[in-house]
């Protein structure tokens, strides 16, 4: 049950995935609602608006109204449990939220996964700028949790170019003064009696604050990725995550896949994917996007028990249009 897009609730889909993929998922990325307190509409054609909407609007993509933080956590908890249960040994969960619920969600994840499963967090600064008076929250947070197993270490592709950033100019001028036989600038350091060489053109390992990936609405050149789906995340963000913590052939899951960014990027990078969304708008948008990419995938429509009520072979646009 991989390379599949399902119209299903996350808990239902993950339960079915656990049965059909007993080894488990290598990476589960999820970008759930943020507890904003409104509905969000999609743009189906140019000229239409997207963003916050009334629940009665025909093009509502998803509801994000829970009656407060307790209602939101009540929605999130069983879905996080299902994600925990589907992780493979050495697998990771990346939970993408913002200031509205991330602190409470961190406490919830500590309870569900165990505090020793927490691997850290990434602060993403989309670059949309501050708004209104007073302190404006201009970042989002991705919480990392992993299923520890001594026989299955976590994957960290730290040397991948997407996980490097240029050295500061001051550092380059002060420390990178040596040249090798090929004319490359480098510096050397001796740590615990061992000599290490660092090349200027390779950059330094990326930290936990990412400011170099603009949001969809922050940078006009990447709007060609746009599907009209609200809160769509840029492909480059998912490309960095998937390249960092998985290997080719890994199984990447997004059980609230929205416009399908995770699935499209996973397929492009040679990873298997499994995605779902309970929104019919999201299911349609993601299916059409995968088709445009020429991705071969299956579709499924699942009832509340996880039984497949419809499916088809989605080969380059056939069977995925529902």
Say what the pLDDT of residue 207 is. 94
Whether residue 187 is contained in a domain is answered as no
Q: What is the pLDDT of residue 126?
A: 92
Q: What is the pLDDT of residues 149-199, one digit of tens each?
A: 999 999 999 999 999 999 999 999 999 999 999 999 999 999 999 999 999
Average pLDDT on 200-216 reads 93
Q: What is the mean pLDDT of residues 269-289?
A: 97
Q: Is residue 191 part of a domain?
A: no
Q: What is the pLDDT of residue 37?
A: 86
pLDDT class for 51, splitting at 50, 70, 90? low
> Are residues 259 and 229 in contact, defined by beta-carbon separation less than 8 angstroms?
yes
The residue with greater pLDDT, 5 or 313, is 5
Pairing state between β 164-165 and 118-124: unpaired
207 is a domain residue: no
Q: Is 201 domain-assigned?
A: no
Residue 226 located in a structural domain: yes
User: Is pLDDT above 50 for 78?
Assistant: yes
Q: Which residue in 231, 258, 254 sits closest to 242, CA to CA?
A: 254
* pLDDT for res 43: 74
pLDDT exceeds 50 at position 60: yes
Q: What pLDDT was estimated at residue 86?
A: 98
Looking at residues 252-275, what average pLDDT do you find?
Answer: 98
Whether pLDDT at 295 is above 90: yes
* Secondary structure of the chain as H, E, C letters: CCCEEEECCHHHHHHHHHHHCCCCEEEEEECCCCCCCEEEECCCCCCCCCEEECCCCCCEEEEECCCCHHHHHHHHHHHHHHHHHHEEEEEEEEEEECCCCHHHHHHHHHHHHCHHHEEEEEEECCCCCCCCCCCCCCCEEEEEEECCCCCCCCCCCCCCHHHEECCCHHHHHHHCCEECCCCCEEEEEEECCEEEEEEHHHCEECCCEECCCCCCCCCHHHHHHCCCCCCCCCHHHHHHHHHHHCCCCCEEEECCCCCCHHHHHHHHCCCEEEEEECCHHHHHHHHHHHHHCCCEEEEEEECCCCCEEEEEEEECCECCCC
Predicted confidence at residue 83, as pLDDT, reads 98
pLDDT at 286: 97
Task: Tell me what the pLDDT averaged over the chain comes to.
Answer: 89
Cα distance between residue 256 and residue 33, in whole Å: 9
Is the pLDDT higher at 25 or at 41?
Answer: 25
Does the residue 181 lie in any domain? no
- Confidence at 52, pLDDT banded by 50, 70, 90: low
Tell if the pTM clears 0.85, that is, is over it.
yes
- Residue 132 lies inside a defined structural domain of this protein: yes
Residue 107 belongs to domain spanning = 4-153+212-315
Total domain count, the chain: 1
pLDDT of residue 64: 83
**Confidence label for 303 from pLDDT (cuts 50, 70 and 90):** confident
CATH number for position 17: 3.40.50.150
Task: Indicate if the pLDDT at residue 306 is higher than 50.
Answer: yes
End-to-end CA distance of the chain: 19
Six token digits for residue 282: 């999201």
Residue 166 located in a structural domain: no
Give CA angle at 119 (109, 212), nearest 5°. Answer: 105
pLDDT in tens, 113-136: 999 999 999 999 998 877 778 888
Q: What is the pLDDT of residue 1?
A: 58
């Amino acid at each position: 049950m991989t390379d599949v897009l399902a119209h299903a609730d996350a808990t239902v889909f993950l339960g079915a995935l656990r049965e059909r993929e007993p080894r488990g998922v290598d990476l589960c990325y999820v970008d759930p609602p943020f507890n904003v307190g409104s509905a969000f509409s999609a743009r189906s054609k140019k000229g239409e608006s997207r963003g916050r909407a009334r629940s009665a609007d025909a093009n509502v993509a998803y509801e994000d109204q829970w009656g407060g933080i307790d209602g939101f956590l009540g929605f999130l908890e069983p879905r996080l449990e299902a994600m925990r249960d589907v992780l493979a040994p050495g697998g990771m969960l990346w939970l993408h939220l913002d200031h509205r619920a991330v602190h409470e969600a961190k406490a919830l994840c500590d309870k569900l996964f165990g505090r020793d499963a927490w691997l850290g967090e990434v602060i993403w600064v989309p670059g949309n700028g501050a708004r209104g008076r007073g302190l404006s929250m201009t970042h989002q947070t991705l919480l990392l949790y992993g299923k520890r197993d001594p026989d299955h270490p976590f994957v960290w592709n730290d040397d991948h170019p997407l996980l490097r950033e240029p050295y500061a100019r001051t550092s380059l001028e002060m420390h990178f003064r040596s040249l090798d036989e090929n004319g490359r600038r480098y510096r050397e350091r001796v740590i615990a009696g061992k000599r290490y060489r660092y090349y200027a053109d390779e950059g330094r390992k990326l930290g936990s604050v990412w400011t170099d990936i603009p949001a969809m609405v922050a940078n006009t050149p990447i709007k060609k990725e746009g599907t009209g789906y609200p809160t769509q995340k840029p492909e480059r963000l998912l490309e960095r995550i998937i390249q960092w913590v998985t290997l080719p052939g890994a199984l990447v899951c997004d059980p609230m896949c929205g416009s399908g960014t995770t699935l499209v990027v996973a397929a492009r990078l040679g990873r298997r994917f499994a995605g779902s969304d309970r929104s019919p708008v999201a299911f349609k948008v993601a299916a059409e996007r995968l088709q445009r990419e020429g991705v071969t995938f299956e579709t499924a429509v699942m009832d509340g028990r996880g039984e497949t009520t419809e499916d088809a072979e989605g080969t380059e646009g056939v069977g995925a249009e529902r």
